[in-house]
Amino acid sequence: MSNPGNAPATNSGNGIAVGSLVLGIIGVVFAFLFSIVGLIAGIIGLVLGFIARRRAVGGRGMVLAGIVLSVIAIIVAIIFMIIGAVVATQMINN
């Protein structure tokens, strides 16, 4: 039952852009704590960001922020994985 005075609900279509932004933020946070989770979230966020950018949905700034944060998450996660591997190797050798 709809009220005659209300406008119909519309789908703005920026869910992919929001998803990219959220996964970029999660990726950056988890890149420092659990690198593999940060890496996976960063990759998925980057893919969603490129899809949102190609479809031109959502705000341009939100899509760009999601892409940038996802790239940062991927880079930080890889750096921390390398540091973890070096430290583990040093501990095994000593």
Cα 90 to Cα 31, 33, 36, 52, 78: the distances in Å are 22, 21, 21, 43, 18
pLDDT of residue 60: 84
Highest mean pLDDT among 10-14, 15-19, 69-73: 69-73
Q: Is residue 62 part of a domain?
A: yes
pLDDT of residue 61: 86
Q: Is residue 9 part of a domain?
A: no
Q: Is residue 66 part of a domain?
A: yes
pTM above 0.95, yes or no: no
Q: Give residue-wise pLDDT tens across range 22-81.
A: 999 999 999 988 999 999 999 999 999 999 888 876 678 889 999 999 999 999 999 999
Total domain count, the chain:
1
Integer Cα distance of 34 and 27 in angstroms:
9
Q: Which domain holds residue 89?
A: 16-93
Q: Is residue 1 part of a domain?
A: no
Look at residue 14 and tell me whether its pLDDT is greater than 70: yes
Q: Is residue 5 part of a domain?
A: no
Q: Is residue 2 part of a domain?
A: no
Structure tokens at 11: 């789908």
